Amino acid sequence: MSSAVPAPLFPPRRILMGPGPSDIAPSVLAALGAPTVGHLDPYFLKVMDEVQSMLRSVFQTTNELTMSVSGTGSAGMETCVVNLIEPGDRMLVCVNGVFGGRMADVAARCGAEVTKIERPYGEVFTPEEIEAAVKQCQPKVVGIVHAETSTGALQPIEEISKIVHNAGALLLMDCVTSLGGLPVEIDKWQVDAAYSGTQKCLSCPPGLSPVTFSKAANDAISARKTKIASWYFDTLLVRNYWGQSRAYHHTAPINMNYALHEALRQTLAEGLPARFARHKRNHLALRAGIEAMGLSFVVAEQYRLPMLNSIRIPDGADDKAVRGRLLNDFGIEIGGGLGAMAGKVWRVGLMGETSTPRNVLVFLAALEGSLAGKVPAGAGVAAANAFYGAN
């Protein structure tokens, strides 16, 4: 056995323009290094209260049960599903990308009778498709992804929510990529349960998953006939820690909640409308540059996410070689395709702290260099600059 001690950590500085994590503000990183207190310390309980209040503002909800789950976005997914689903319950899951498929997998592991409806990657569901499936399946829960990270597709929710509730079902929504980057209207849309992640548009390190449950969802959980399969994600237990009783459940990741507190504080200080407008503006500048280079997007314009852009890899370009050059020569990380899109698209994130004109222009210049001879030199940067000049 070697006795050598590893060298200290000196991570490289990257521009994080993939599907997550995003760049993180220095003040959020500094919050991680603040003094750790106990998980029942009065100071930390105050932090929890403020995190809960700010999450309600970002989710646009008054839901009492709103909190950060100790785990990444997939932990939030599992929390929502395992609490709402009992063995034998019917669940309809809408799958148009990797994360809809993951939700269906989690539901099946919880004992649900899962019905999947599917659209090709990059497309979204129509209300008519949902209505027909709900009538046939008669589910207890309908699960859908608001912002599909694997494709960059934005799913309209409001009309679908009405269909789901008219059928007496509960609506579960994945907003991992959308929260903090475009409107997420939990109360207005009557979403019964939703989960997100800290590392996308909130620009906090990965490690927590914001979740929220409506009164109807809480009532369904309280009316269960069987015990929730996961002790760790059992909201009947965890809500006593986040509620007035402060009953011990687990040792919360104190410093991660500090970081989330600062990330949420910055989000609300910027203002949600201004934050949404910033994401949209930088997306449109990127679009101008990409189209000037002769490249195209996977998703139809009206359904494109502003914070996650799936760009078709041009003929003759080597996916891994281009991403490798962007990383090694320019310090820029972007994502490759997942599932059916592997090797076919690049996923370019403009999330939270990453969504800046500087990053758009640096990325376009670096991509032009990495595709030299395959795209017109300078066209992308010029088009993006022209957009910014006019907008």
> pLDDT tens-digit profile of 360-374?
999 999 999 999 999
CA distances from 12 to 323, 328, 370 (A): 16, 10, 21
Q: Which of 370, 386, 9, 351 is nearest to 179 (CA)?
A: 351
- Judge whether residue 339 has pLDDT over 90: no
- Looking at residue 314, its pLDDT comes to 95
Question: In terms of domains, do 112 and 199 share one?
Answer: yes
pLDDT band at 1 (very low <50, low <70, confident <90, very high): low
- Judge whether residue 200 has pLDDT over 90: yes
Question: In terms of domains, do 109 and 199 share one?
Answer: yes
Question: In terms of domains, do 225 and 276 share one?
Answer: no
| Boundary (domain end) residue, out of 268, 287, 318 | 268
DSSP tag of 216: H
Q: How far is CA 129 from the centre of its chain?
A: 24
Q: Is position 102 within any domain? A: yes
Provide the mean pLDDT of the chain: 96
Q: Which helix (DSSP H) or strand (DSSP E) does residue 141 occupy?
A: strand 141-145
Question: In terms of domains, do 199 and 95 share one?
Answer: yes
Gap between the Cα atoms of 191 and 165, Å rounded: 9
Question: In terms of domains, do 43 and 141 share one?
Answer: yes
The pair of three-digit structure tokens given for residue 351, joined into one six-digit string: 């999330």
- Looking at residue 243, its pLDDT comes to 84
Number of domains in the chain: 2
Gap between the Cα atoms of 72 and 106, Å rounded: 15
What's the average model confidence in pLDDT over 155-162? 98
Q: Is position 227 within any domain? A: yes
| Boundary (domain end) residue, out of 219, 251, 268 | 268
Gap between the Cα atoms of 350 and 71, Å rounded: 23
Residue 350: which CATH number? 3.90.1150.10
Question: In terms of domains, do 137 and 254 share one?
Answer: yes
Going by DSSP bridges, is the β-strand pair 113-118/153-154 parallel, antiparallel, or unpaired? unpaired
- Looking at residue 247, its pLDDT comes to 87
| Percentage of the residues of the chain whose pLDDT score is greater than 70 | 99
Q: Phi and psi of 386, rounded to 5°?
A: -65, -40
Gap between the Cα atoms of 170 and 225, Å rounded: 17
Q: Is position 172 within any domain? A: yes
Q: Is position 135 within any domain? A: yes
The separation between the first and the last C-alpha atoms of the chain, rounded to the nearest angstrom, is: 61
Gap between the Cα atoms of 100 and 177, Å rounded: 13
- Judge whether residue 244 has pLDDT over 90: no
Q: Find out whether 233 and 79 touch, Cβ atoms under 8 Å.
A: yes
Question: In terms of domains, do 149 and 213 share one?
Answer: yes
Gap between the Cα atoms of 39 and 59, Å rounded: 25
Q: Find out whether 257 and 348 touch, Cβ atoms under 8 Å.
A: no
Question: In terms of domains, do 234 and 322 share one?
Answer: no
Question: In terms of domains, do 172 and 223 share one?
Answer: yes
Question: In terms of domains, do 140 and 249 share one?
Answer: yes
Residue 247: which CATH number? 3.40.640.10
Q: Is position 5 within any domain? A: no
Question: In terms of domains, do 200 and 254 share one?
Answer: yes
Gap between the Cα atoms of 174 and 211, Å rounded: 10
pLDDT band at 245 (very low <50, low <70, confident <90, very high): confident
Cβ-count burial of 226 within 10 angstroms (0-12 exposed, 13-18 middle, 19+ buried)?
Answer: exposed
- Judge whether residue 2 has pLDDT over 70: no
| Boundary (domain end) residue, out of 234, 268, 302 | 268
Q: Is position 214 within any domain? A: yes
What's the average model confidence in pLDDT over 183-192? 98
pLDDT in tens, 295-310: 999 999 999 999 999 9
- Judge whether residue 215 has pLDDT over 80: yes
Q: Phi and psi of 164, rounded to 5°?
A: -60, -45
38-55 burial string, b = 16+ CB within 10 Å, else e?
A: ebeeeebbebbeebbebb
Q: Which of 104, 69, 318, 105 is nearest to 212 (CA)?
A: 69
- Judge whether residue 340 has pLDDT over 90: no
Question: In terms of domains, do 370 and 352 share one?
Answer: yes
Residue 168 makes CB contacts below 8 A (sequence gap 6+) with none
- DSSP letters of 148-165? ETTTTEEPP-HHHHHHHH
Gap between the Cα atoms of 177 and 360, Å rounded: 19
Q: Please, what is the Cα angle at 160 between 156 and 165, to 5 degrees?
A: 145
CA distances from 331 to 11, 15, 286, 345, 366 (A): 12, 6, 18, 20, 10
Tell me which residue range forms the domain holding 376. 272-390
- Judge whether residue 344 has pLDDT over 70: yes
Q: How far is CA 53 from the centre of its chain?
A: 20
| Percentage of the residues of the chain whose pLDDT score is greater than 90 | 96
Gap between the Cα atoms of 49 and 68, Å rounded: 11
